[in-house]
Amino acid sequence: MQEQLKIAIIQSDLAWENQKKNRKGFTAKIEGIQEVDIIVLPEMFNTGFTMDAKTVAETMDGKTVAWMQKKALKTGAAIIGSLIILDNNHYFNRLLFVEPSGNITTYDKRHTFTLAGEDKVFTAGTEKVIIDYKGWKICPMVCYDLRFPVWARNVENYDVLIYVANWPKSRVQAWDTLLKARAIENISYVVGVNRVGIDEAENEYSGNSAVYDVLGNAITCTKPHKEQIEIAVLDKHHIHYYRNKLKFLDDKDAFILK
């Protein structure tokens, strides 16, 4: 078990529906990162937030999945990000956590974004996922999931909550506020990685990627509208100290999700 976890977050513009160009861009960015445990990419990092799943979807045997495995092996870091996956005749906004060993853990976005019609194209996931990596319990989620605190509630005693996103500038105040809230209420580190730039639908993205500690303090945050890589070091002692001191999670409500 590692007492510290080093995470790199990549805030980047995305080329619209151009997997090859996006993979090339992220390759250059990833090759500049050294000695980290996890590298986090945005939501739909190889296409942008498109609803044209039929045109750009890949399978789990596709080029982008293989690319993630190669980059994880080369860097020695786990790579995490979401992409459009066709599986059993259904399209999923699927987050992949790819380890250097080649092992892949997947999470399908539960809350499809109805405002953009994502629910009409993609099948919603049903399973919350907790990843055990280097002795850290990691809970991965995707963008719109951030608005639903019950789904993120820390009943599994996880250490890190990670959101990958294409969250527009027009609602970025909600992004900033809710990331901080998820950290405070779950006494957990929270990592939020968002894109920048303007997509084909003329949605503008300011980024505002950040890492928060268990008290909701920003450990690191990016500059708005800039492509940027930031590295944060998470510490197990920080979690244990405040959970033992405050014990707020001991008083949480029991509930059943339907």
| Catalytic residue numbers, as ranges | 43, 109, 143
- Distance separating alpha carbons of residues 170 and 254, to the nearest angstrom: 35
- Distance separating alpha carbons of residues 247 and 86, to the nearest angstrom: 42
DSSP state of 13: B
CA 227 to chain centre: 17
Burial of residue 147 (number of CB atoms within 10 Å: 0-12, 13-18, 19+): middle
CA distances (Å), 74 to each of 2, 33, 68, 71, in order?
21, 11, 10, 5
| 205-182-177-193 Cα dihedral, nearest 10 degrees | -20
Ranges assigned E (strand) in the chain: 4-11, 38-40, 78-87, 90-98, 104-108, 131-133, 136-142, 160-165, 189-194, 196-198, 204-206, 210-212, 218-221, 228-235
Asked whether the beta carbons of 239 and 188 are under 8 A apart, the reply is: yes
- Distance separating alpha carbons of residues 6 and 8, to the nearest angstrom: 7
